[in-house]
Amino acid sequence: MKIVIIDYGAGNIQSIKFAIQRLGYQAVLSKDPEKIKAADKVIFPGVGEAGSAMRKLKESGLDKIIPQLKQPVLGICLGMQLMCAHTEEGDTTGLGVFDINIVKFTTPVKVPQIGWNQITDLKSSLFSSVAENEHVYLVHSYYAPVTSQTISKTNYGGEYSTAVQKDNFYGVQFHPEKSSVLGEQILRNFLSL
């Protein structure tokens, strides 16, 4: 299986590569459109600020490539947010794969949310063998509201989407590569799609 992690200079890609390695697979880091298109599974990571990450995507032309992909694609954290229509962070237009506008958490909750929270209303084969209310690791200040594309919800001052799906595109707000055994199960599920 060819697994490509999109390497556009905005993500904790080493950790994702290692997590996949722990599952017995080898992933390739690449920003080459041909390699990405030829992959069986594509992982789109992202850490940092949305505006600058989006600029890096555009510089490499990947903003045009990613929405056209036909194989399973998993956006992680900021990767998921950039796959949405828009994010409040830096008033940034996203890739528009998901019809979702990302907004910032507001008081009384602390921002960023850092730590382990529960996932509920699980709706996709991405969550095969994952029980309701299990904990995943999250670090973020902006979130996806609940929509028809939501496949997992979490409560932090109200319910929001911790995972979304449209066709072959999946996005998770949490970090499966840092979510212990449960995160490894979710990554394994993605690789089995």
Partner 1 sequence: MLTKRIIPCLDIKNGRTVKGVNFVDLRDAGDPVELAKLYSEAGADELVFLDISATEERRKTLADLVLRVAEHVNIPFTVGGGISSIADVDILLKNGADKVSINSSAVKNPDLINELAGKFGSQCITVAIDAKQINGEWIVHLVGGKVPTTLNLFDWAKEVEQRGAGEILFTSMDNDGTKDGFANDALAKLSENLNIPIIASGGAGCIQDFTDTFKIGKSDAALAASVFHFKQIDIQELKSALDAEDIPVRR
Contacts to partner 1 by CB under 8 A? 12, 14-15, 18-19, 21-22, 47-49, 107, 110-118, 135, 137, 139-141, 155-156, 175, 177-181, 183-184
| Min CB(41)–partner 1 separation in Å | 19
Please tell me which residue in 84, 89, 134, 175 is annotated as part of the active site: 175
88 is catalytic: no
Do residues 47 and 15 make contact, with C-beta atoms less than 8 angstroms apart? no
Check 77, 84, 134, 140 and give the catalytic one. 77
Nearer to partner 1, 65 or 191 (CB): 191
Residue 121: CB minimum distance to partner 1, A: 15
Minimum Å gap between C-beta 178 and partner 1 is 5
C-beta contacts of 88-92 below 8 A and 24+ residues apart: 88/142, 89/49, 89/50, 89/51, 89/141, 89/142, 90/49, 90/50, 90/51, 90/52, 90/54, 91/51, 92/50, 92/51, 92/54
For tokens 């929001």, the residue is: 160
82 DSSP assignment: H
Which residues are catalytic, by number? 77, 175, 177
